[in-house]
Structure 1
Amino acid sequence: MSDELSPEMLEEAKPDLLTLEDEDGQEVTFEVIDATEVNGTRYLAVIPYQEDPASLQEDAELILMRIGTDDEGEYMDIVDDDEELLTVGKVFEERLRAMYDIDDSELD
């Protein structure tokens, strides 16, 4: 069985939510848009979660997170290395274009 999610599965499923604690100790909830592995490392594409669909912003910032492990278990970091961000961003861009059937001609 594949770990990949089909567009139909994503549309039918409830949002996959992830709540993390930021540097200030505040809980922040994200909606997981996609997950994949690049060069042996697992990544998530997330956006800040909005409970009310009417408040969703079309230009919501997509955040790429790396999943790693250490002596204490799994952890997540925001991808901030420019080269890694470019590489992983391209993979997610291709995947999300296919998932949501985005055509360049539809973009402003």
Structure 2
Amino acid sequence: MTEERDDIIVLVDENGEEVEFEHLDTIEMNDSHYVVLLPVSDVEEDEVVILKVEEGEGEEDNLVAVEDEEELNEVFEEFKTRMEDEFDFVDDEE
């Protein structure tokens, strides 16, 4: 039996393939909204995807990649602060 979950969203990748993501958080920062997503797949990667919410036509919003690395890092740091009790974050610095 397939379980239906409210926290799963489906996006279409650059190859036209549907990819499922678990919605972890929505962050409002600097007059913008961002969603933090975790890919739902067989791959054992623990990398989140952060997308910016932009108003689209009508009632639909668009999710777009965050190109500015400083902006992306700022949102990720806020996510880490908010979710420190739920996730174990590992620094990539070696």
Equivalent residue, structure 2, for 1:69: 55
**Secondary structure, in 3 states, of the residue corresponding to 2:46?**
coil
Q: Aligned pair 1:46/2:32, yes or no?
A: no
Q: Of 93, 103, 106, which aligns to 2:80?
A: 93
State the alpha-carbon separation in 2 of the partners of residues 87 and 46 from structure 1: 16
1:17-32 pair list within 5 angstroms: 17-32=8-23
State the alpha-carbon separation in 1 of the partners of residues 28 and 19 from structure 2: 24
CA positional deviation for 1:38: 0.6
The answer to whether the 8 A contact 2:25-2:36 is kept is yes
**Secondary structure, in 3 states, of the residue corresponding to 1:92?**
helix
The answer to whether the 8 A contact 1:15-1:31 is kept is no
Q: Which runs of 5+ in 1 are unaligned?
A: 1-13
- TM-score, normalised to structure 2's length? 0.74
Q: Which runs of 5+ in 2 are unaligned?
A: none
What's the Cα RMSD here?
Answer: 2.4
**Secondary structure, in 3 states, of the residue corresponding to 1:83?**
helix
Q: Of 10, 23, 26, which aligns to 1:35?
A: 26
Equivalent residue, structure 2, for 1:60: 46
- TM-score, normalised to structure 1's length? 0.65
How many residue pairs get aligned? The number is: 85
| Structure with the higher helix share, 1 or 2 | 1
CA 1:56–1:84 in structure 2 vs 1: closer, same or farther (change >3 Å)? same
1:55-102 superposed Cα distances (whole Å, 9 cap, x missing partner): 573x4211111100144641001223211111111111101114x175
CA positional deviation for 1:28: 0.8
